[in-house]
Amino acid sequence: MGPHPAVAAIRLAVRRVLHDVITEFHRHAGPDRPAEAARRPAHAAGSPYAEAAAAGGSRTALPERPDTPLVLVACSGGADSMALASALAFEARKLDVRAGGITVDHNLQLGSGLRAAEVVTRLTAMDLDPVEAVAVHVGREGGPEAAARDARYAALDAAAERHGAAAVLLGHTRDDQAETVLLGLARGSGIRSLSGMAAASGPAGRYRRPFLQLDRQTARKACLVQSIPVWDDPHNIDPAYTRSRLRHEGLPALEKALGKGVVEALARTAQLSRDDADALDTWAAEAELTVRDETGRLECAGLYALPPAVRRRVLRRALIEAGAPAGSLFARHLEEVDRLITGWRGQRAINLPGRVEALRQGGRLVIRQS
């Protein structure tokens, strides 16, 4: 008898991502490594893990395999990330991959350090190695949710660099994707924001999200049938947080009004929007080369001739290159700069985040530090 359907689903999702990571790792590593070694399971006869096991060692004491990719799971202790950790631990035993775990202590709740230590204990019991807890300081910029996210990703980036990880797995589900799309829609954001979270993102595709096609209930069920203890973060039900209100009030209201299937539809919208956004970004990168003069300045006449969606992407790229923080550039900023092209009436320079200014001079758009 095979595993429970929920367990089988999470393992299959993780297995697919691990195969991608292994393939990319060996492609970049070059042809020096024998093909049979690349296919050998971690515990196969002759492997370093099997040799250590024969000597009476445990997995956490096994030697590092620099010719094998290390994959870390970011784990909060919640159902989604614990299900992800269990699937990674299971699949890593059968594949040519090392598996470890990282938990981030945001220091936002009383006893958070003890909670992080419990997660470390559970991940270690799954034979993940390395496993560590990283404490961070959460600032205030952008609001509590954005600040916590920024601190978390900074810690995960540092951990991935420190351990030389080929990938970091994140437990975002289809439900998280639907929430992200709705949040972008509520902000009046563009199509890139509506595309939600990518299956792979970050430097060189470091962050992988195996569960984007699975719902949150599947992950929770997988933990239940495997008797994996989980922690329910009280922040996830705190109405002070926008995402929490959307999760417990907004989405249920939409499903009540529109019927079941809203989450699945929003997830499909994210994928369609991502495909469109990728195509427009490629078009904008190519178009930018045609609207710069011999000195590299943007020509207003050339910009005016571009479709608005392409032109604004060109402008955004130029503003970021000049020093404007990407996360601080909003639609209203781009609209103001765009009016220098489409509604020129002698406006003054426009001040933008990052002490960047944009002004029109002699038919050229000048973007510079103020």
Each residue's pLDDT tens digit, 259-313: 999 999 999 999 999 999 999 999 999 999 999 999 999 999 999 999 999 999 9
- pLDDT band for position 31 (cuts 50, 70, 90): low
**Per residue, what are the HEC states of 165-229?**
CCEEECCCCHHHHHHHHHHHHHCCCCHHHHCCCCCEECHHHCEECCCCCCCHHHHHHHHHHCCCC
Question: What's the chain's average pLDDT?
Answer: 88
Structure tokens at 330: 């909003």
If we measure between CA atoms, which residue out of 199, 181, 356, 142 comes closest to residue 263? 181
Note the pLDDT tens digit of each residue in 314-354.
999 999 999 999 878 888 899 999 999 999 999 999 999 99
Report d(CA 209, CA 105) in Å as an integer. Answer: 21
Residue 40 has φ and ψ, to the nearest 5°, of -75, 125
Structure tokens at 275: 């495909």
Write 359-366 long-range contacts (CB < 8 A, 24+).
360/300, 363/299, 363/300, 363/301, 364/293, 364/297, 364/298, 364/299, 364/300, 365/297, 365/298, 365/299, 365/300, 365/303, 365/315, 365/318, 365/337, 365/340, 365/341, 366/297
* Nearest partner of 166 among 32, 24, 338, judged by Cα: 24
Q: Are 337 and 329 in contact (CB under 8 A)?
A: no
Phi then psi for 45, rounded to 5 degrees? -60, 135
Q: Which of 19-23, 77-81, 324-328, 330-334 has the lowest mean pLDDT?
A: 324-328
**Confidence band (pLDDT; 50, 70, 90) for 66?**
low
Under a CB-based contact definition with an 8 Å cutoff, are residues 71 and 206 in contact?
A: no
What residues contact 268, with CB distance under 8 A and at least 6 apart? none
Q: How far is CA 14 from CA 91, 210, 352, in A?
A: 7, 6, 42
Q: If you average pLDDT over residues 185-199, what whole number do you get?
A: 86
Alpha-carbon distance 230 to 6, whole Å?
Answer: 16
% of the chain exceeding 90 in pLDDT: 74
Q: Are 166 and 69 in contact (CB under 8 A)?
A: yes
Question: Which residues make beta-bridge pairs with 351?
Answer: 357
CA distance 192 to 312: 12
3-class SS at 32? coil
Closest CA to 270 of 188, 177, 186, 207: 177
Summarize the confidence of residues 183-194 as an average pLDDT.
Answer: 83
Residue 30 confidence (pLDDT):
64
Residue 135's contacts (CB-CB under 8 Å, 6 or more residues apart) are 104, 105, 107, 113, 116
What confidence score (pLDDT) does residue 95 get? 95
Model pLDDT for residues 130-150, shown as the tens digit of each residue: 999 999 998 887 778 888 899
What's the predicted TM-score (pTM) here? 0.82
Least confident segment among 31-35, 212-216, 251-255, 310-314: 31-35
pLDDT of 216 > 70? The answer is yes
Residue 115 has what pLDDT?
93
Asked if the model's pLDDT at residue 191 lies above 70, the reply is yes
* 55 or 124, which is more confident: 124
Output phi, psi for 26, to 5 deg.
Answer: -75, -25
pLDDT value for 236 = 83
Residue 253 pLDDT > 60, yes or no? Answer: yes
**Residue whose pair of structure tokens reads 């417990």 in the numeric block:** 248
Residue 72 phi, psi dihedral angles, 5° rounding: -105, 150
Contact 26, 33 (CB under 8 A): yes
pLDDT at 156 (0 to 100)? 97
Give pLDDT, residue 39. Answer: 40
Give the model's pLDDT for residue 233: 83
pLDDT of residue 188: 75
pLDDT, tens digit, 9 for 90 and up, residues 145-187: 888 899 999 999 999 999 999 999 999 999 999 999 999 888 7
- Distance from C-alpha of 97 to C-alpha of 85, rounded to nearest angstrom: 14
CA 134 to chain centre: 18
